[in-house]
C-alpha cells in the first residue's frame, strides 16, 4: 500500500503542538514545585510567623460571657444525706458519680442511666472514653464497668495504693506487699493480668502514654537523706524498661509525655522538661505553693497560689514544643483541668476557659461552694458538698 508523503506544513503543525504541550507540562511542573517550596518554607518557619498570626486572631476574639444560669429539671443531683466520699468523672459523654453506696450514670438531663451498688469504703474513680474504674483506696477491691453494667470485679490480697485506667482500657493497680512498698499489676479490659513490675521503691505516680499500652512510672527513693525520684518508661508488652530518667531531687506528682516526645514532670517544688530518653533539659523552681495541675499530650497546665497574699493566683500554660506562658488570675484558683487545647479554671468566683496563650476565651460566674467540676459537651457539672449542679458553657 502506498502512503501519501507528509507535507511540510503538516510536520510543522505537529512539532508546534508537541512544543506547546511540552511548555504546558513544564509550567504545571514548575507550579507544583513552587507550591512545594512555599509549603516547605511555611512549615519550617511556622515558629516565626505563627505567633503573629495567633496574636492577631487573639486580639479580634472576644471573651464569651456565659450567664451561669443553673439548669432546672432533674438538677441538682442529690448526693444523699451524710455522704462523705462523693466523687465524679465523665465517661462516654455521661456523668459518673460515686457516692458512699452507688456508682450512678447520668445523661446531661440528669436522668439516671444505670445504678451499680458497691461496697467500697473509700471509692475512687478513673475513666477512659468508654469504661470506668472504681477502686477502694487503701482497700482491697476494684471493679470495671460501663453504663450498661459491671464488666469484671476483683478482690486482691494486698492493699490498693492507687489505680488508673488508660484510653486503651488497661488497668494499672498499685498495691503494697510484704516484699515491696509498691507493686504494679496491669490488667487488660477483660481483667486478665498482662504485666507486673516493681523496683523496690515507692511509686508516686503512673501516667499512661497516649497509645495507652505503656506508662511513665515515677518511683521515690532516699539518697543521703534526700528524696530522689526516677521516671521509668515501661511497655506492657516488654519487661525491659524503655528508659530510666536522670535523678530528680523532688517528689514527682505526675508526668506527661507530649506529642513532640518531650516529657514534663510536675514535682513538689519544681517542674521539669526532659528528653524522650529521660535527660533533664530545663528546670523551673516554684515561686509559690502548687494548687493543681492537669495535662494531655499537647498541653500541660499548672496553677499556683499568689506570691503575695493579694487574692490572686498564677497559671502556667505549656504547649508541646514551646516555652511556658505564665499569667496572673485575679481570683483564688481551686482546681484546673485541660480539655483539648484549653485549660478550664475553677476559682472562688468563676469558671473560665483559657487558650494556650493565656487569654480568657470564656467565663461564667459561679457559687463559692463548688469543689470540683467536669466539662461534658457544652455543659459544666459542678460538685458541691451535698449536690451536683450544671450550667451551659459556650467557648
DSSP string, 1-34: -PPPPPPHHHHHHHHHHHHHHHHHHHHHHHHHHH
pLDDT of residue 213: 85
Residue 12: predicted pLDDT: 59
Q: List the one residue out of 217, 221, 248 whose CA is nearest residue 233.
A: 217
Return the pLDDT at 24: 73
The pLDDT, as a whole number, for residue 33 is 84
Question: Nearest-CA neighbor of 290 among 271, 274, 272?
Answer: 271
In sequence order, the 6+-apart residues with CB closer than 8 A to the CB of 244 are 230, 231, 232, 233, 278
Closest CA to 233 of 245, 218, 216: 216
Quote the pLDDT of residue 395: 86
Which residue ranges of the chain lie beneath pLDDT 50? Answer: none
Q: Which of 76, 113, 83, 81 is nearest to 99 (CA)?
A: 83
For the entire predicted model, the pTM comes to: 0.83
What pairs with residue 160 in β-bridges? 175
pLDDT digits (tens, 9 = 90+) for 299-325: 999 999 998 888 899 999 999 878 899
Instruction: Look up cell 479554671; give the residue.
Output: 345
DSSP3 helix / strand / coil % (the chain, rounded to 5) = 15, 50, 40
pLDDT at 321: 76
pLDDT of 75 reads 96
Cβ-contact 143, 164 below 8 angstroms: no
The residues, any chain, with a CB within 8 Å of residue 317's CB and separated by 6 or more, are 299, 300, 301, 324, 325, 326, 327, 343, 354, 356, 357, 358
pLDDT score for 55: 55
Q: What is the pLDDT of residues 71-126, one digit of tens each?
A: 999 999 998 775 666 899 999 999 999 999 999 999 999 999 999 999 999 999 99
* SS3 at position 304: strand
> What is the pLDDT at residue 34?
81
Provide the Cα torsion 340, 298, 55, 395; round to 10°: 10
Q: Cell numbers 445523661 correspond to what residue? A: 107
Q: What are the residue ranges spanned by the domains of the chain?
A: 17-57
**Quick one: angle between helices 46-60 and 8-44, nearest 10?**
70
Amino acid at each position: 500500500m502506498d502512503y501519501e508523503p507528509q507535507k511540510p506544513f503538516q510536520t510543522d503543525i505537529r512539532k508546534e503542538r508537541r512544543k506547546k504541550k511540552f511548555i504546558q507540562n513544564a509550567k504545571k511542573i514548575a507550579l507544583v514545585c513552587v507550591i512545594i517550596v512555599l509549603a516547605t518554607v511555611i512549615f519550617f518557619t511556622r515558629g516565626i510567623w505563627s505567633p503573629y498570626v495567633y496574636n492577631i486572631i487573639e486580639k479580634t476574639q472576644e471573651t464569651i460571657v456565659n450567664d451561669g444560669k443553673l439548669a432546672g429539671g432533674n438538677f441538682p443531683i442529690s448526693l444523699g444525706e451524710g455522704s462523705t466520699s462523693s466523687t465524679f468523672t465523665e465517661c462516654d459523654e455521661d456523668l459518673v458519680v460515686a457516692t458512699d453506696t452507688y456508682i450512678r450514670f447520668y445523661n446531661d438531663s440528669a436522668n439516671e442511666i444505670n445504678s451499680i451498688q458497691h461496697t467500697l469504703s473509700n471509692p475512687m474513680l478513673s475513666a477512659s472514653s468508654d469504661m470506668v474504674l472504681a477502686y477502694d483506696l487503701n482497700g482491697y477491691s476494684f471493679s470495671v464497668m460501663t453504663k450498661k453494667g459491671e464488666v469484671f470485679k476483683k478482690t486482691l490480697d494486698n492493699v490498693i495504693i492507687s489505680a488508673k485506667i488508660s484510653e486503651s482500657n488497661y488497668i494499672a493497680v498499685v498495691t503494697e506487699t510484704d516484699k515491696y512498698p509498691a507493686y504494679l499489676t496491669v490488667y487488660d479490659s477483660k481483667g486478665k493480668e498482662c504485666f507486673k513490675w516493681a523496683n523496690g521503691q515507692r511509686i508516686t505516680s503512673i501516667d499512661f502514654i497516649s497509645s495507652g499500652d505503656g506508662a511513665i512510672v515515677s518511683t521515690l527513693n532516699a539518697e543521703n537523706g534526700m528524696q530522689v525520684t526516677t521516671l521509668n518508661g515501661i511497655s506492657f508488652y516488654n519487661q525491659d524498661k524503655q528508659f530510666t530518667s536522670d535523678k530528680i531531687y523532688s517528689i514527682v506528682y505526675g508526668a506527661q509525655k507530649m506529642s513532640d516526645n518531650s516529657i514534663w514532670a510536675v514535682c513538689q517544688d519544681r517542674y521539669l522538661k526532659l528528653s524522650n530518653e529521660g535527660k533533664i533539659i530545663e528546670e523551673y523552681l516554684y515561686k509559690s505553693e502548687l494548687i493543681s495541675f492537669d495535662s494531655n499530650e499537647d498541653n500541660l497546665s499548672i496553677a499556683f497560689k499568689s506570691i503575695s497574699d493579694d487574692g490572686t493566683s498564677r497559671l502556667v500554660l505549656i504547649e508541646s514544643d514551646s516555652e511556658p506562658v505564665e499569667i496572673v488570675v485575679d481570683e483564688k484558683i481551686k482546681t484546673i483541668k485541660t480539655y483539648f487545647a484549653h485549660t478550664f479554671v475553677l476559682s472562688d468566683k468563676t469558671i473560665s476557659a483559657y487558650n494556650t496563650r493565656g487569654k480568657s476565651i470564656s467565663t461564667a460566674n459561679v457559687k463559692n461552694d463548688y469543689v470540683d467540676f467536669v466539662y461534658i459537651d457544652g455543659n459544666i457539672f459542678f460538685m458541691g458538698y451535698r449536690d451536683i449542679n450544671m450550667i451551659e458553657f459556650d467557648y
